[in-house]
Structure 1
Amino acid sequence: MKRILMIAAIGATVLASCGKSEKQVALEKQQALTAYRDSIKLDSFKRAAVETEKRKVEEQHQAELTAARRSAARSYSSGNTVTSTTSSGGVTSTQAKKKGWSDAAKGTAIGAGVGAIGGALIDKKSGRGAIIGGLTGAGAGYVIGRAEDRKSGRVQPKQ
């Protein structure tokens, strides 16, 4: 029995000596807190640098737009492209016109067709329903297509 108690006491002593002291735990917490604060500072410096770079690019873009607006621009049309030449440093920009039907035109045509068919099926008296349905469908199709043109940038929204 003495041996068992002796082994248990030695085991308890060994386990107690292997544990970290409160000073070591406090020191590790302090080091972790310091490392965390440093990482936050570094992150905030990185974010500030990125924001500064974004501001510089935006200011440069605004300056270019202002210069382009102020300068006298001469535009001429050639086929499907529009070429603008400005007097500010001889900058030339080429923009391609969009080809094909606009969404408003497509919407009008599709709406008129569907409306005419629907109107003819509903009111079978000498084409009256087809005419009314075609006009209604064309109007609705135009409104929907025009909204799509504004979203895509083909038509500028009202100022």
Structure 2
Amino acid sequence: MRIILVLCFLWANSLLACGKDETAKIEPFAKMEQDYNFENLIGYEVFVPEMSKGYYLTSFYLGIKDSVAASLDFSEAFGYKGYYSVIFQVKPEKLDALSLTLSYSTTKDKKGMVLCGEQVQLNLKELLNAKQPKMVVPPPPPPREVNNGV
């Protein structure tokens, strides 16, 4: 009887282990965006996970050593579920001095005071070389019916 119980336990665990992994790790990545180039600045779009270790993305900071520090607005990334993105332009020679910092907190609505969480430092050059997930374009909304007043 014990052997049967042990076999049932191992079989049940193997079924759970082989199921679809809903907690797959979402890794940040970046792309050069030709549409956002301006004079001698190159456009970049950075994609970051909405959640990290159970915390929600609340802020995205960009800094250039001894020059500038700014908080950038981010939005849900088109075509990449679970990602947020931000677009900015920078001179190519400033890439080594560029720092990207994400702040994650328990604040789901991304407003108000942040009481606890974590910060993540990113390197744009590494993000440009990171593996990108396949883009999934959502289907268009269904056409609306036209009422001709009949």
Q: TM-score range by the shorter chain?
A: under 0.3
Q: TM-score, normalised by structure 1?
A: 0.24
Larger relative strand fraction: 2
Q: Which structure would you say has the larger Rg?
A: 1
Q: TM-score, normalised by structure 2?
A: 0.25
Larger relative helix fraction: 1
